[in-house]
Amino acid sequence: MPDYAFRVTVVYCFFFKDEHVTAGVLCRAVLCCAVLWSSCGERNFSDSRIRGFVPTPTPLFPRVSRNNPRPTVFPPGGMSFARAARSLCRSLVRARAHRLYLSSSSLSPMEHVTLTTPAAGVLVVELNRPKALNALSDALMKDLGVALAHAQQDQAVGAVVITGNDKAFAAGADVKELAREHANREDCVKKACLKTWYDAMGATSKPKIAAVRGYAFGGGCELALACDIVIAAENAQFGLPELSLGTIPGFGGTQRMIRAVGKSKAMDLILTGRRMKADEAERSGLVSRVVPVERCLPEAVEAAQAIAALSSPSVALAKRAVDAADAFVALDEGLEFERQLFYDTFDLDDRREGMAAFCEKRKAAFTDSAVAHATSSAP
């Protein structure tokens, strides 16, 4: 009689050893394996046939992760052997299709973004610097640019979803990197500061959807603004706090925010640096819809899938027409003007102080602020 339990173990190990398998497929596969193991009479997972494939398991299995790849001893109720087998086969097909998609592309594994294809015609680009709250570094933006350039060349991609994690879409630019790499305006010009960012977002003309959960501040807010559609979770927060660093938004914030919410609201957000919650962002026109946190990415994928199902040339023409209407003032000129002003801030002492204070985790003491002048002139 075939050793079915051993075969299930081999399949189980395939999922954990394949780094490209998405979390949803991985979790589904583990649950199905648990049902099949149980149906095969497996209760003691320290069996010698399993040693060498998976770590010694424990009776409790609260979470599925590659750091803790242990099958649950007690399978979920309500799932039959046949249903588990069918579901496991579907998971294998999806994992295999995703692996073929990545292997057929010219993409090498990237450190700062993760690519998945959850639906036909949809590429999901997940920002992957969780310890830094997805702070936008040059390396991350280069990876994003590579992913979007690939999407542009791939006719099988009709729309792109850009997302982060539940805590942060992107909490801003990597301020430590900016302070380290750019000492003054000349450095900004010489090293073409932020050019990588503009190049990244310009790498594809295909529709881009931002699925925003958690923080979207500074460069993260600007990244969302650079997308065509913004879908926000209920826990999303938006803001442009660059003035607190002694600089200004340099990735389109001054130009795109006013187009999204109007001058008064844009001035409010930029000059005060206050945070705007998801419901206010929806009322202001910054986001198209607000959904529960767990529905944010699925809603974005469904929207991308709907776009991908339409005529690509028609989508491209419609997008060009809307973009042209939106740029009632030449956007390119506005962006270039903003970037030059951003460079100017790197000659300011307050810019140096603002970034130094951020890096040193203290409150900035600006010398050229109205409060500082008022204090110094007081009797």
Q: Which residues are catalytic?
A: 173, 219, 222, 242
Structure tokens at 292: 């529960």
Longest dimension (CA), the chain: 96
Label residues 327-339 b or e (16+ Cβ within 10 Å = b). eeeebeebbeebb
Burial class (CB in 10 A: 0-12, 13-18, 19+), 353: middle
Burial class (CB in 10 A: 0-12, 13-18, 19+), 170: buried
From the list 242, 257, 265, 266, the residue with the least C-alpha distance to 341 is 242
Do 363 and 186 meet the contact criterion of CB atoms below 8 Å apart? no
* Whole-angstrom distance, CA of residue 236 vs CA of residue 313: 33
* Whole-angstrom distance, CA of residue 229 vs CA of residue 155: 21
